[in-house]
Amino acid sequence: MATNIYENNNPGNITYWSKKGVVGVDYYLGKKGSEIKYKKFNTKAEGLSAILDTMYKYANTDIDKIMESYASTDKSGKVVKNYGEKLRNTYNIAKDVNYDDNEQLIEIMKGITHWENSTNSQDYKKHYLDKDYDDALKMFQEKRLLDRGTVSEQIKDAEMQGLNLNG
C-alpha cells in the first residue's frame, strides 16, 4: 500500500501555503489529526524538483542554513536535528551548495528523500529511481535557466547542459 508521500509525489514533504486567488494547487493533510498541508505533485520528477526549488528560493548556499529554513515549518516535533550536517556527512555534500553541480544536487535530493522518509520505511528507494532524480534535476535546471540571461544565452547554456527547451 502506498503512503501519501508516494500517492502525492512529495518525497521532500514540501508544505503547501495557500495564497488568495491561486487556483489549481492541490494539497493533502499530513498524518491523521495533523493540520499541516503538503503539496501534491503530478509526477515524481515534479516532487523531487520541488526539493531543489524550495532550497533555491532561500537565496542561500550554506546547506546548514538552508536546511534550518527547509525544516522550520515541521510542527510534528520530528524535525531532523542538524539536518544540513547530517546531509553533508551521510551524502558527502559540501557545506556550500553549488546549483551548477548536478551530481551534488542529485545527492542532495537523495539525501532529503532519505531523511524525510526513512522513518516511514525504506520503500522510497523502490519508488524513486535514478531516472526520477535525473528528470527532476533537468526540470529544475530548465526552470532556473529560464530565470536568467538573454534568450541567446539561455539557448547556449541549455545546449551545453543538454537541456531541451522545445518541450
Question: 128: closest CA among 120, 142, 117?
Answer: 117
Q: What is the mean pLDDT of the chain?
A: 81
- What is the model's pLDDT at position 159? 72
- What is the model's pLDDT at position 145? 83
Task: Report the predicted TM-score, pTM, of the whole model to 2 decimal places.
Answer: 0.79
Distance (Å, rounded) from C-alpha 116 to C-alpha 125?
12
Whether the Cβ atoms of residue 157 and residue 145 lie closer than 8 Å to each other? yes
Give 1's pLDDT tier (boundaries 50, 70, 90).
very low
Assess whether pLDDT exceeds 80 at residue 53.
yes
Looking only at the bridges linking them, the beta strands covering 27-29 and 37-39 are: antiparallel
- What is the model's pLDDT at position 72? 77
- What is the model's pLDDT at position 158? 67
- What is the model's pLDDT at position 154? 62
Average pLDDT over residues 129-141: 96
Average pLDDT over residues 79-96: 89
Contacts 24+ apart (CB under 8 A), 125-130: 127/2, 127/6, 127/11, 127/44, 128/11, 128/44, 128/48
One-letter amino acid for residue 128 of the chain: Y
Q: H helices of 8-82, where?
A: 44-57, 63-70
The gap between the terminal CA atoms of the chain, to the nearest Å, is: 34
